[in-house]
Chains A and B, each alone.
Chain A
């Protein structure tokens, strides 16, 4: 297994409070790392730390994030900008606020593509339509001209996934990508992620609080609780032999049929 991204002993503070405490985790090529934990356990902060897009108040006090033998904290701002969206791609949590409400869907695609490639208008259209078709959006040609507020939450979430998948990255960080979706579309998206990791060998970091999603897709699981990773295991071990009491509690809280 080839390492793509490694987080070493990462601690992030806001004021005196530890938001993340000594996080260690590794994303491997072609594997899905599931991060699970309750709301406020620091999952989203961890994603933003990897993307170097933490809020101004958050300070990294120790640790490294290694990508291509480099510590991302030492990489220059312009190089980091070139990585974002191209090498490290993040699917944000809130589809309703993550879009600029006065730009069309097409211009969102144009912006992220033009940030990294020299592309013509026609090519952008084609890439956008293909990507939206893949995430099962109806009428992608028409959607291009829509504004974000004209679409439902579930549709926006799929547009966001399409936006991020339009560029082949080496790591996809998906922050609760399926929470606003119905089960049919959720299944479709998960299958899509599955295909991407086997076809492109990208690493996927999947943040969720849905155990079903973890069972479906993840190869490894990290359990977060109050800013710490309290258990890091293979997905089979995670379900069959949970070690930490919190993990046991988490597994017991599943709705049983």
Chain B
């Protein structure tokens, strides 16, 4: 039974990992693969139907939707990855520091973080974006910050759980220093839960980036971010619903695959 479940988790992981990898590669090689310049405006060619030349047709400004979708992978999946990696690295630094120091630093950390965590992530990011102004860079900053707050608290908990483990004691007793302890014992042992959390939240972050762009607080107009494309398409939803459909479906597909992947990691972890 458990073997069967494990096997299924394996198939699940393989399936979602492969598709995501293909999407990732498409994004990576987008400049080579794009049939047209995704920013080139040509009003005479607006709202073209799909053809060999324009696989997904063109939008209201005559731009190639397929090329925009390809480049959009970078802005959606790519920025989400960057946000997650930067946030978790910062969180490990801060969380590990607090968990190993304890005492008054830990106490203050918890109080301040309690206040910050009392705001829902979206509200906090809204506030930051309102302060910084809408742009791709500021979306990255705001989301890194909100993810970092959430993760540092989590990492602190994971580290404290390890503090009293016998092999940590044993390593300390044989004279290992703090940084080495973290690199050699804490992190390798905590890798499975950390990876699961990071992968699970990539989907959430993609949705947030897209959401911000959709309401105009995030990535700005010419950049082909998927949420932005949905936003641009919404004016023509009656005549050309496919302009919203392509990026919308792409977001759903990637987020679902990421959740799939994360849940298979979770099963492995257990």
Residues of chain A having any CB pair with chain B under 8 Å? 48, 51, 53, 55-56, 81-86, 89-90, 92, 94, 97-103, 107, 111-112, 115-116, 160, 163-164
Contacts and interface: CB of A to CB of B under 8 A. Distances in A.
Contact of B180 (A84, A102, A111): A111
Given A100-B185, A100-B189, A102-B188, A53 B169 contact: yes
A12 to B, nearest CB: 16
A81 B184 CA distance: 17
Contacts of B163: 56
B102 A85 contact: no
B174 A98 contact: no
Interface of B: 102, 163-167, 169-177, 180, 184-185, 188-189
B174 A85 contact: yes
A97 B167 contact: yes
A103 B171 CA distance: 12
A82 B172 contact: no
A112 B189 contact: no
12 contacts: A53-B173, A56-B102, A56-B163, A82-B175, A92-B170, A94-B166, A100-B184, A100-B185, A102-B189, A111-B171, A111-B174, A112-B176
A98 B173 CA distance: 11
A111 B184 contact: yes
A145 B81 CA distance: 36
A112 B166 contact: no
Contacts of B170: 92, 98-99, 160
A103 B180 CA distance: 13
Contact of A98 (B167, B176, B180, B189): B167
A92 B166 contact: yes
A92 B176 contact: no
B173 A90 contact: yes
Contacts of B180: 111, 115
A90 B185 CA distance: 19
Nearest to A82: B175
A92 B189 contact: no
A163 B174 contact: yes
Given A100-B185, A100-B189, A102-B188, A81 B175 contact: yes
Given A82-B175, A92-B173, A111-B174, A103 B184 contact: yes
Given A84-B172, A84-B175, A85-B175, 18 more contacts: A48-B169, A53-B172, A55-B164, A56-B163, A81-B176, A84-B173, A85-B173, A92-B166, A92-B169, A94-B166, A107-B184, A112-B175, A112-B176, A115-B174, A115-B175, A115-B176, A115-B177, A115-B180
